[in-house]
Amino acid sequence: MEYYSYIKALHLIFVITWFAGLFYIPRLFIYHIEANEKAEPERSILIAQFKIMTQRLWYIITWPSAILASLFAFWLLYLFPSWLKMDWMLIKLGFVVLLYLYHWKSHLIFKELQNNVVKWTSNQMRMWNEGSTLILFAVVFLVIVRDAVNWIYGVIGIFLLAVILMLGIKLYKRLRTRNGEL
């Protein structure tokens, strides 16, 4: 138990770096997708650079952070197995499963782009980018307010956040279209 604070701190550090990777990788995907619309030689130069950047981010920061965050989380759960009987923890673990599904789908998108397969538009990828944001909000609020959460207000809040994010994406697309960037 004397190492609890260190284990918790390391868990939090790797959660933060994991989310940093999950926030940035879709941005690189967007730039990669938009680079496909450029003329040569700019297209080839940009795509090659984005492939290097995404590969380094994904394998040097994002995947190791996900694994280390999980290892420290398992260690904490080993030290405090009673947490698994708490409603907020079970719901949080459900969101962690969603986060891993999001991570895995991002990995599949990464592999497609590395193989020059583009199935997403940049606008679709902007919406995809908000998935990790919604999960982050849900997990942080669960951890901070725990049992004091009124679940109805929490669910309504997450849906409102999703709507606000989607409206922001549409507004951004409209502004880009108006400015001749699309």
Q: Is 11 annotated as a binding residue?
A: yes
Q: Is 51 annotated as a binding residue?
A: no
Q: Token pair for residue 8?
A: 């918790």
Judged by phi (left if over 0) then psi (alpha if -120 to 50, else beta), residue 180 lies in left
Number of neighbours of residue 92 by Cβ within 10 angstroms: 20
For residue 159, the SS3 value is helix
Contact between 125 and 30 (Cβ < 8 Å)? yes
Query: Cα–Cα distance between 137 and 44 in angstroms, integer?
Result: 37
Q: Binding site for heme: residue ranges?
A: 11, 92
Q: Binding site: residue ranges?
A: 11, 92
